[in-house]
């Protein structure tokens, strides 16, 4: 397996579904941060066959990881300090997601109002249903 | 400061207070005739809806207030590309309360977020039209004397009818309501509504013909069945008469069954029914004014 060095402080996001690492890179807005990121694609995994891994060297309170739960809550988040895993973060579904997904309802006000944030609210935690704050359309209803 | 976006924004208790106020307005209109003197209602209608707008304007005039606004997008600054957020900031400088109608869903909520005055959603696309639902509830409460313990039939296009969905959601909060959904198979109520009813343990049944169930209804809420909603002309011709309320069907109904309709009606209620004492759809229009009066007073915190 490709060898990527240890990180001193930051996160290792493990068990990412193979091929999804780049979209997570964007959702976490890592492109806007000035930090070292390693993207490992198609690593071998006993559990999953293939998986992706993201290693991010950054201050540990720099990233908002709640959104990961929305994208895929099988991801394991290892918190690294002084080169060691100090914590495994449990992912909780965020109450609200801002500007991560877009409302696809063509009749929604988000389709015309300038600079309106796209906000989705967790309306049913059991069924993991998010609805647009404005038009209440269920996320995933239209692809 | 409060806004009204969704009929469920108010609790059952708050609605009762609102309806009490509306009934007091009905009984003592002179007591309220000048209560809004010096106050202005802005009617911001980005699409025309003459009946709703006139109902709001009448409500404000009845309270002694005045009205300004626009009645379609072409005559508003939206035609120059102004955002809803900017428009409401400006309207906030002119008026004390705003009723907003918009073809885009959620537009009044965006306005409420930026507004310094209370905003009432006067209809946003296929999403919500809370003052219609409040009108329906007030009509039922006033004429039946209660908002519990009855069987209500909802007839016509139950798939796309926003008014119907909203009324079902609102009634589901009261005790012992039984629903009968009367529609062609292709225009049945959406699954999310029947699932909600099942979850709450509320009784409902679905029938194809109005004649088959009209006898057991305490209330009949009629809506229009549009020809273009059918898959083919044959089905339309075969089914359309099931959803037209006429004298012969009224003869099968109980003597206290009320007929409601959000209006405008086209031909789904035959005019011969208009003189029947059980026809309540024109009274409903009057209650629409009372409920909007009560709402304006409540949101302006002038209710006493
Ligand atoms: Zn939306």
How distant is the alpha carbon of residue B192 from its chain centre?
20
In a domain, B1, yes or no: no
- Kindly report the number of other CB atoms within 10 A of residue B116's CB atom: 11
**Chain B residues whose C-beta sits inside 8 Å of any chain A C-beta:** 83-85, 102-107, 109-110, 124-127
Predicted confidence at residue B75, as pLDDT, reads 75
A137 vs A142: CA distance, rounded Å: 9
Confidence of residue A113 (pLDDT cuts 50, 70, 90): very high
**Both ends of chain A: CA-CA distance in Å?**
36
Ligand 1 centre from A121 Cα, in Å?
11
Q: Answer yes or no: do B169 and B236 share one domain.
A: yes
Edge-first strand order for the sheet with B66-70 is B66-70, B40-45, B97-102, B119-124
ipTM: 0.88
The residue among A8 and B290 whose pLDDT is bigger is B290
CA atoms of A76 and A17, how far apart (whole Å):
11
End-to-end Cα distance, chain B: 17
Other beta carbons within 10 angstroms of residue A25's beta carbon come to 17
To the nearest whole Å, the CA of A135 is away from the closest chain B CA by 5
CATH of domain A10-89: 3.30.70.140
Q: Is the peptide bond before B87 cis (omega within 30 degrees of 0)?
A: no
The CB density around residue A27, as the number of other CB atoms within 10 Å, is 18
pLDDT of residue B12: 98
Do the domain assignments include residue B293? yes
8 Å CB contact of A114 and B104 = no
Q: Mapping DSSP to helix (H, G, I), strand (E, B) and coil, where does residue B244 land?
A: coil
**Angle at which helices B50-62 and B281-299 pack, to 10 degrees?**
60
A107 contact residues in B (CB cutoff 8 A): 103-105, 125-127
- Residue A142 pLDDT level (bands cut at 50, 70, 90): low
Catalytic residues of B: 51-52, 80, 101, 129
Q: Is residue B215 part of a domain?
A: yes
Higher pLDDT, A90 or B142: B142
Residues B15, B124, single domain; the answer is yes
pLDDT band at A74 (very low <50, low <70, confident <90, very high): confident
Q: Are B131 and B111 in contact (CB under 8 A)?
A: no
Q: Which residue has the tokens 């000035």?
A: A34
Give the model's pLDDT for residue A2: 65
What are the boundaries of each domain within chain A? 10-89, 96-132
With residue A14 as reference, give the H or E element that holds it.
strand A10-17
Question: For residue B123, what is the enclosing H or E element?
Answer: strand B119-124
The pocket of ion ligand 1, defined by CB under 5 A, consists of A 103, 105, 108, 132, 134-135, 137
Strand order from edge to edge, sheet including A119-124: A96-98, A119-124, A129-132
- Regarding whether B249 and B167 lie in a shared domain, the answer is yes
B120/B63 Cα distance (integer angstroms): 17
How many structural domains are present in chain B? 2
Residues of A in contact with B7 (CB under 8 A): none
Q: State whether B157 and B116 are in the same domain.
A: no
- Domain assignment present for residue B116? The answer is yes
Dist. CA A63–CA A33, nearest whole Å? 10
Mean pLDDT by groups of 10 residues along chain B of 304 residues: 97 98 98 98 96 97 97 80 94 98 97 98 94 98 98 95 94 98 93 94 96 97 84 81 94 98 92 97 98 98 87
Show the tokens assigned to A7: 């990180």
Range of the structural domain that residue B49 is part of: 7-129+285-299
* Secondary structure in 3-state letters for B182-224: ECCHHHCCCHHHHHHHHHHCCCEEEECCHHHCHHHCCEEEECC
Q: Which helix (H) or strand (E) holds A38?
A: strand A36-45
Q: Are B165 and B277 within one domain? A: yes
Are B108 and B152 contained in the same domain? no
Question: Do residues B288 and B135 touch, judged by C-beta distance below 8 A?
Answer: yes
Residues B145 and B123 in one domain: no
Predicted pLDDT of residue B209: 94
Between residues A61 and B281, which one has the greater pLDDT? B281
Instruction: Using alpha carbons, list the distances in angstroms from residue A44 to A18, A50, A51, A53, B10.
Output: 10, 5, 6, 10, 55
Higher-confidence position of B183 and A128: B183
Share of chain A above pLDDT 90, in %: 54
What distance in angstroms lies between residue B279's CA and the mean position of ligand 1's atoms? Answer: 38
Q: What is the CATH number for B178? A: 3.40.50.1370
What is the reported pLDDT for A140? 76
Q: Is residue B2 part of a domain?
A: no
Tell me, yes or no, whether B243 and B292 share the same domain.
no
DSSP B190: P
User: Are residues B24 and B107 located together in one domain of the fold?
Assistant: yes
What confidence score (pLDDT) does residue A143 get? 46
Question: B240 and B100: one domain?
Answer: no
- B135 and B248: one domain? yes
Same domain membership, residue B242 and residue B136 = yes
Tokens of B137: 């509830």
Residue B304 lies in a domain: no
């Amino acid at each position: 397996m490709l060898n990527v060095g240890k990180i001193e402080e930051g996160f290792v996001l493990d068990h990412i579904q193979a091929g999804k690492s780049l979209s997570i890179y964007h959702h976490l807005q890592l492109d806007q941060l000035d930090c070292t990121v390693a993207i490992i694609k198609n690593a071998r995994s006993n559990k999953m066959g293939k998986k992706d891994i993201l290693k991010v060297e950054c201050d540990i309170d720099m990233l908002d990881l709640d959104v990961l739960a929305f994208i895929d809550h099988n991801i394991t988040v290892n918190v690294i300090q002084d080169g060691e895993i100090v914590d495994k973060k449990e992912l909780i579904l965020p109450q609200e997601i801002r500007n991560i997904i877009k409302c696809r309802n063509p009749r929604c006000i988000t389709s015309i109002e300038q600079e309106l944030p796209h906000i989705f609210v967790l309306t049913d935690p059991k069924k993991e249903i998010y609805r647009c704050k404005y038009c209440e359309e269920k996320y995933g209803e239209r692809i | 400061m409060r806004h009204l976006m969704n009929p469920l924004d108010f609790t059952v208790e708050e609605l009762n207070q609102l309806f009490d106020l509306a009934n007091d307005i009905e009984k003592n209109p002179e007591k309220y005739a000048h209560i809004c003197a010096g106050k202005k209602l802005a009617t911001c209608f980005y699409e025309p809806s003459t009946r709703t707008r006139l109902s709001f304007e009448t409500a404000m005039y009845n309270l002694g207030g005045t009205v300004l606004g626009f009645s379609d997008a072409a005559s508003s600054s939206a035609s120059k590309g102004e955002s809803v957020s900017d428009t409401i900031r400006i309207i906030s400088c002119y008026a004390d309360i705003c009723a907003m109608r918009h073809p885009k869903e959620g537009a009044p909520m965006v306005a409420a977020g930026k507004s310094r005055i209370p905003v009432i959603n006067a209809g946003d696309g296929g999403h919500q039209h809370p003052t219609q639902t409040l009108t329906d509830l007030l009509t039922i409460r006033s004429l039946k004397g209660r908002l519990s313990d009855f069987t209500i039939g909802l007839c016509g296009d139950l798939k796309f009818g926003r008014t119907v969905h909203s009324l079902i959601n609102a009634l589901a909060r009261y005790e012992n309501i039984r629903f009968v959904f009367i529609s062609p198979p292709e225009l049945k109520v959406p699954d999310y509504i029947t699932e909600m009813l099942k979850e709450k343990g509320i009784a409902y049944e679905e029938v194809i013909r109005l004649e088959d169930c009209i006898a057991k209804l305490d209330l009949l809420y009629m809506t229009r069945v549009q020809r273009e909603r059918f898959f083919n002309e044959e089905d339309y011709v075969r089914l359309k008469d099931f959803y037209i309320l006429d004298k012969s069907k009224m003869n099968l109904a109980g003597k206290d069954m009320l007929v409601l309709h959000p209006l405008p009606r086209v031909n789904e209620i035959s005019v011969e029914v208009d003189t029947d004492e059980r026809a309540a759809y024109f009274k409903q229009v009057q209650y629409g004014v009372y409920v909007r009066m009560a709402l304006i007073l409540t949101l302006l915190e002038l209710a006493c």
